[in-house]
Structure 1
Amino acid sequence: MNKKIIALAVAAAFGNQASAVELYNKDGSTFAIGGHLSVSAQGNSDVGGTDIISNSPRINFTATQDLGNGFTADVRGEYAVNFLKDKSFDEDEGKDVEGDTFTTRLGYIGVTHDVFGRAVAGTQWSPYFDVAGIADMPIAFANDFLYDNHGALGTGRAEGMISYRNDIQLSDNLSIFGGLGWQDNTNTGFDSRGQVALGANFADFMVGYSYNAGDRTDGVASKQEATSHALSAKYGSYGNGLYVAAVYTMNEYMHGTSNYNGVANPGAGIALKDTDAVEFIAAYAFANSLNLSINYEAVESNGNDITKGTVYSQMAFQAEYNITPSFVTFAGYQLDLGSDLTNAENDMWNVGVRYYL
């Protein structure tokens, strides 16, 4: 069996660059600490001003236990780390806000088998994200639309989820993968949700599809079914030569209108009835570890009122350089390409460093 997707699910908490410090390994049990800390200066070219932000720092603790007969159990807790005074990074807002020292990002128990696949219960990266998250790679600026209420909608780190994944090797260069996910209704304004993901890996190529559905009352006048179809394709591995990836989603009541890049839009807090979203990235990593990338993202609303038109569109040029495998410098400049919901523009730049544990 090809274990690419299962391995990705196990290592996802470490971010785009997997790393960890193993503290214990004996008699089939392991314990490790991982994560990363970042500090960067971010400025708004049009609005003005510069902030020192923390670029989604986190620390995680992972333990595994060999259960015998090919089964392995693992447990993970991951926490956003607030090491800037009285602030923590809010991925939905895209900026630092008042917050606690530690907030939960992930917390789950999983069981994996080489043949029977992987089952996980808890707050985790979703099967939908396995397909839709392939363009969410650069440190400074990446895919924003996946994180619009992602915990409740299951488009990123899904809260209260039970999931199953498997990846079946058909030949040396061909495998098919799939995943199922179900969330309970513990989030106010969101009912139980289900999702399915399917795809194939062929040599360095991957194609995938995911469907995500469940009712919501948050941001809508009456209960509505919030659905998303995600299509994606990629070539290569980010940080190793050429990497190209694209994601396209068709959505109903999945996206809102409020506070993209800190700019308030008309109808703030409204869940948009019908949207399309796209993210594209092309990156090339040289042998000296310099990784250059360009990415484009847009969300379009297909409504027939004041929320019709481009919700936001943006393009970023970025560079990342590994001084050592654990110490990375990065810089990016994001162009605001305009919105039909607000006349304000907000070009942004970001320069910083990240240290992986």
Structure 2
Amino acid sequence: MNKKIIALAVAAAAFGTQASAVELYNQDGSTFSIGGHVSLGLKGNSDSDVGGTDINAVSPRINMTATQDLGNGFTADARGEWSLEMLEGGAESFTTRLGYIGVTHEDFGRAVIGTQWAPYYDVAGIADMPIAFANDFLYDNHGALGTGRAESMISYRNDIQLGDNLSIFGGLGWQDDATADFSSRGQVALGVNFADFMVGYAYNAGDRTDGLTSKENAFSHALSAKYGSYGNGLYVGAVYTMNEYMHETANYNRNVYSGDVIDDSNGIEFIAAYAFANSVNLSVNYEAVESNDKTVGEGTVFSQMAFQAEYNFTPSFVGFAGYQLDLGSDLAQYKNKENDMWNFGVRYYL
């Protein structure tokens, strides 16, 4: 695991993806910090049946992270992260988003146990970047299926430097069968970084009965590629997934799920973004899920494209705006229910 990657791993554990947190303690090889963000704005849509303009919270959260130098090149970290309900009395506040302990070594890699971002997401989540609208299909039962934040997981990752601009990375993950609807799951991720390019592959599999009349192997192959770093000049990323029993039929814009699990589906996500020197970041992204299931319907389950802008007033205070076009569905139950959406607001990183 090269020095650049270990530094990023420990920094991410301590401060999150945004380099903004309040470090409350740093002494004798131990640190403790509090981070997260508050994100609020206005959201509306073109379908009057869904509702008008609403004040919207965009996944606010708070986290606490500790790190400890264990000696001999090992660093331990522990994180708890909880969602915040900003608008409706706080009934859903402090539900767990992340909760894990990790140990990282420059040569031996990184091991983590608990609720965490999965190795599968390392590959499939490269387009999940903008604040207002991003990757939806990764979050269908993602905790149990391990496509985003994976519950009850133990994982291992490493990155091996082969040259100044070349490295290979990999990850393994295993989830226990904590619920009756999903059995234990395993996943593997592999990839190559070359200069500003990355190409990756991930496989994720395990049985499910949730939404099904019998036990089926729910699995996904994910391929992805990207160029650049989001928020720093040009960034381009694409993800393609091949799945069985991973997605449900749904009109995502309405958040209405029919409960039918698609036996064969493909997911597509593409993003192109450019961040200017004045901190304006413009992006366009496209997303779709295609069904190959004759029972629930063949064709596009949903498809959408969003145009977005973000501006860093300061490193900790970001404005965002986006307009998402509903490009329609081929499924009869959703074919005439297109719903464009817009969203703008501010995010304050703690």
Common fold: TM-score over 0.5: yes
Secondary structure of the residue that 1:345 maps to in structure 2?
coil
Hey, which bits of structure 1, 4+ residues long, moved more than 4 A? 3-10, 12-16
Does residue 1:179 correspond to 2:180, yes or no? no
The letter of the residue matching 1:179 is: G
Residue among 123, 130, 149 paired with 1:157 = 149
Percent of aligned positions that are identical: 78
Which residue number corresponds to residue 94 of structure 1? none
Using structure 2 for the length normalisation, give the TM-score: 0.95
Q: 1:245 to 1:5 in 2, by over 3 A?
A: farther
| 8 Å Cα contact 1:13/1:60 also seen in 2 | no
Matches within 5 A, 1:199-238: 199-238=191-230
- How many angstroms does 1:100 deviate by? 1.9
Which residue number corresponds to residue 318 of structure 1? 308
Which residue number corresponds to residue 30 of structure 1? 31
Q: 1:14 to 1:39 in 2, by over 3 A?
A: farther
Does residue 1:254 correspond to 2:246, yes or no? yes
Q: 1:106 to 1:200 in 2, by over 3 A?
A: same
| 8 Å Cα contact 1:16/1:137 also seen in 2 | no
- Once residues 262 and 313 of structure 1 are traced to their aligned partners in structure 2, the CA distance between those partners, rounded to angstroms, is 13
- Once residues 228 and 86 of structure 1 are traced to their aligned partners in structure 2, the CA distance between those partners, rounded to angstroms, is 38
Q: 1:317 to 1:13 in 2, by over 3 A?
A: farther
- Once residues 39 and 16 of structure 1 are traced to their aligned partners in structure 2, the CA distance between those partners, rounded to angstroms, is 19
Q: 1:149 to 1:12 in 2, by over 3 A?
A: farther
| 8 Å Cα contact 2:292/2:299 also seen in 1 | yes
Q: 1:102 to 1:23 in 2, by over 3 A?
A: same
Aligned pairs, number: 344
Unaligned runs of 5+ in 1: 88-98
Matches within 5 A, 1:292-303: 292-303=282-293
Which residue number corresponds to residue 84 of structure 1? 87
- How many angstroms does 1:340 deviate by? 1.6
- Once residues 5 and 279 of structure 1 are traced to their aligned partners in structure 2, the CA distance between those partners, rounded to angstroms, is 26
- How many angstroms does 1:305 deviate by? 2.5
Does residue 1:286 correspond to 2:260, yes or no? no
Using structure 1 for the length normalisation, give the TM-score: 0.93
- Once residues 64 and 71 of structure 1 are traced to their aligned partners in structure 2, the CA distance between those partners, rounded to angstroms, is 11
- How many angstroms does 1:5 deviate by? 5.5
The letter of the residue matching 2:295 is: D
Q: 1:189 to 1:3 in 2, by over 3 A?
A: farther
- Once residues 14 and 253 of structure 2 are traced to their aligned partners in structure 1, the CA distance between those partners, rounded to angstroms, is 25
- Once residues 224 and 174 of structure 2 are traced to their aligned partners in structure 1, the CA distance between those partners, rounded to angstroms, is 21
Q: Deviations over 1:143-171 (max 9, x none)?
A: 00000000000000000000000000000
| 8 Å Cα contact 1:12/1:125 also seen in 2 | no
Q: 1:16 to 1:340 in 2, by over 3 A?
A: farther
- Once residues 204 and 77 of structure 2 are traced to their aligned partners in structure 1, the CA distance between those partners, rounded to angstroms, is 26
| 8 Å Cα contact 1:13/1:78 also seen in 2 | no
| 8 Å Cα contact 1:4/1:167 also seen in 2 | no
Which residue number corresponds to residue 51 of structure 1? 54
- Once residues 106 and 263 of structure 1 are traced to their aligned partners in structure 2, the CA distance between those partners, rounded to angstroms, is 24
The letter of the residue matching 1:324 is: T
The alignment yields a C-alpha RMSD, in angstroms, of: 1.5
- Once residues 323 and 68 of structure 2 are traced to their aligned partners in structure 1, the CA distance between those partners, rounded to angstroms, is 44
Secondary structure of the residue that 1:102 maps to in structure 2?
coil
Residue among 122, 138, 141 paired with 2:114 = 122
Residue among 117, 127, 137 paired with 2:129 = 137
